[in-house]
Amino acid sequence: MDKDVIVGRRCRLRPLRREDLPRRLEMINDPDVQRLWIGVPADLNDLEALETWFYMLSQDPYSEQWAIETPDGRYVGDIDLHSIDRLRQEAALSVLLGDPAYLTPYARRDVLVTALRYALEDTGLHRITMELPDNDSDGGRLQEDLGCRVVDEYELDIFEGVSELTMELQAQDFNP
């Protein structure tokens, strides 16, 4: 397998590039994407802050950023595999999807299965955690179908009325 491209059924993952940032900025400033990603619309971001974020993550040896592409190469979101602890064989996974065509249950499942296969099988991690807003019931069901379980729920202190669920997936429970 090409280590720079991870192929799913309806998606490909490749390293996130600086040229993806303008489209990513559009996505993270879209209120509908914000509702799905953090639970509520939030303040707008700017390109300078996003470039700082990208630079900091590119210097982090415990983080991998993957662009999510359609089979024809269109950028539709990204994956952040972060807090990678090789000794404990665990990491956290965040998914940002900003294209309506990839918000269907089938497409979301394909993106998650592709990313989780890489994290668990190719990278050899044994435990993955993911955060999602408690109002994303479709995402919660999808993660539970894949073998995840809720291990924590907490209210975000920066957004009133928004709670996050921490989902955990143990490698032996993964049900692609």
Structure confidence by residue, pLDDT tens digits, 13-39: 999 999 999 998 888 887 776 666 555
**What's the order of all strands across the beta sheet hosting 163-170?**
6-7, 12-15, 64-69, 75-85, 90-97, 127-133, 163-170, 149-155
Least confident of 35-44, 73-82, 88-97, 142-151: 35-44
Between CA 44 and CA 39 the distance in angstroms is 15
Query: For the segment 139-161, what is each residue's pLDDT rounded down to a tens digit?
Result: 899 999 999 999 998 876 656 66
DSSP string computed for 90-111: EEEEEEEE--GGG-SHHHHHHH
Integer Cα distance of 62 and 14 in angstroms: 17
Structural contact between residues 54 and 47, judged by C-beta atoms closer than 8 angstroms: no
Whether the predicted pLDDT of 40 surpasses 70:
no
pLDDT at 2: 46
Q: What is the pLDDT of residue 1?
A: 37
pTM, full prediction: 0.88
Reported as a single tens digit per residue, the pLDDT across 163-173 is: 888 999 999 99
User: Which domains, and CATH codes, for the chain?
Assistant: 6-173 (3.40.630.30)
